[in-house]
Amino acid sequence: MDKQNSRFRWVVFASVLVTYLLMASQRTAPGLITDQVMREFHVTASTIGLLTSIQFFVYTGLQIPMGILADRYGPNFFLIVGAILTGLGTIIYSLGTHEFVLFFSRILTGIGDATIWVNMVLILGQWFKVKEFVRLIGFAGMAGSLGFLLATVPFTAWIGLLGWRAAFFSTGLLLCLSGILLYFVLIKKPKQLNEPAAVKNEIRREKTLPLLRRIFSNRQAWALFFCHFGIVGAYVGFIGSWAVPYAMDVYGMTRSDASQLIMIGMIGALMSAPLTSWLSSRLGTIKRPYVVVHIGILLCWATFLLFNGRPPFFMLIILFFIIGFGYGASALTFAVVRQSFPIIDSGVISGFANTGGFLSAVLLPSIFGIVLDHFQLGRGTIGDGYYHGFITPVIFSMIGLVGVIFIKEKSQGTEKSR
């Protein structure tokens, strides 16, 4: 069986993307019940910020090791195990009776979640031709945005119907079943078709320390790291922890209305992933549209400061949409990786770039929670807390803009396939 010409590759594509959709939903779904967890477990905003951050901390810390392992041993096994671990972590979260159980569950979920993106990128590289990659990476990004979208109004309704514990338990069970499905799609079926699940790489393996030294001394790798730092973390970190409380505290919205507001950002991300991939392919450049996206995100976060943390409601809708649209374009980071580095390094470079994105997702919820606690302890109003909290995504976005400016790219029209 020729993988890149087989119709079965679309079964692989669909299975992997559905799993990514479900796993992505569990990055932000806990943000829907922030106030309930605070009341039920009697914890502070700082603790909630740490609870949100710890999953991203684990995810971030494992990106480079996961890239090395996936490059050396193949992506299939790690993705299957990751889906099951994410499911188990979500189930344990639903059964938690103490805050330490919640922390353990989010650590387990973070370990599982750390497997998805790097391995998915490599799997797409195995099953699809180079010319299809930029377009498909956009659809992969769209699947992640659909996952975030699922964790808004639909998951809010699911929580309202079953209660938060049953809603998370059922989602965890579905993730475990997805891991089992991936085993049949990625390993068992290819073997039946006389195609090994992972092609043994005969290229001489570079030792880990020299490989890391080479990556850490590469200017392009650092540009991608900081580019992804600015575009991912501010959005994911805020949506996953403080967006719902912000809408409820500052605008007096209900939980359902707040989740609808967030859904607007998700729709922007959903539209952006395939659109920006198509546009960059059409223009023959990734960098120019990506710079425009970063500038737009920076201006949006700065607008929150301009209006003292409470822009007019109609403007708030526009801001959430544009910020979400910018996040959807983050798949372009990995199009640059594919363009700039040989295929044997794509796993570790993708992991390094992704580390930047989710490092900021680790930092933002905790910083935001500390700022809110400071102003809630009699030193100001809750509105003051959110206003000063928005300084963090502004700074992060500035770092992202610097990163994307320093990216060097080859013309797509003259790029040779690797």
Q: How far is it, in rounded angstroms, from Cα 121 to Cα 126?
A: 9
For residue 22, the one-letter residue type is L
- pLDDT one-digit tens code per residue, 198-252: 444 444 566 778 878 888 888 999 999 999 999 887 787 787 677 888 888 888 8
Q: How far is it, in rounded angstroms, from Cα 153 to Cα 256?
A: 7
Residue 87 has pLDDT above 50, yes or no: yes
% residues pLDDT > 70 (the chain): 90
SS3 of residue 241 by DSSP: coil
Q: Which domains does the chain have, with CATH numbers?
A: 8-196+207-405 (1.20.1250.20)
Q: How far is it, in rounded angstroms, from Cα 357 to Cα 352?
A: 9
Q: How far is it, in rounded angstroms, from Cα 308 to Cα 388?
A: 9
The percent of the chain in helix, strand and coil, each rounded to the nearest 5, is 85, 0, 15
Where is pLDDT greater, at 40 or 354?
A: 354
CA-wise closest residue to 187 among 82, 87, 77, 66: 77
Give, in degrees to the nearest 5, the angle at Cα 407 between 404 and 411: 120
- pLDDT one-digit tens code per residue, 322-365: 998 998 888 888 888 877 887 777 778 888 888 888 788 778 87
Where is pLDDT greater, at 75 or 43?
A: 75
Q: How far is it, in rounded angstroms, from Cα 418 to Cα 411?
A: 14
pLDDT of residue 417: 39
Where is pLDDT greater, at 135 or 368?
A: 368
Q: How far is it, in rounded angstroms, from Cα 42 to Cα 36?
A: 9
CA dihedral 276, 279, 285, 289 (to 10 degrees): -50
SS3 of residue 341 by DSSP: coil
pLDDT of residue 345: 76
Single pTM value for the model: 0.73
- pLDDT one-digit tens code per residue, 160-196: 888 888 888 998 999 999 999 999 988 887 777 665 5
Q: How far is it, in rounded angstroms, from Cα 180 to Cα 199?
A: 21
CA separation, residue 45 to residues 48, 50, 152, 233 (Å): 5, 9, 21, 19
pLDDT of residue 296: 94
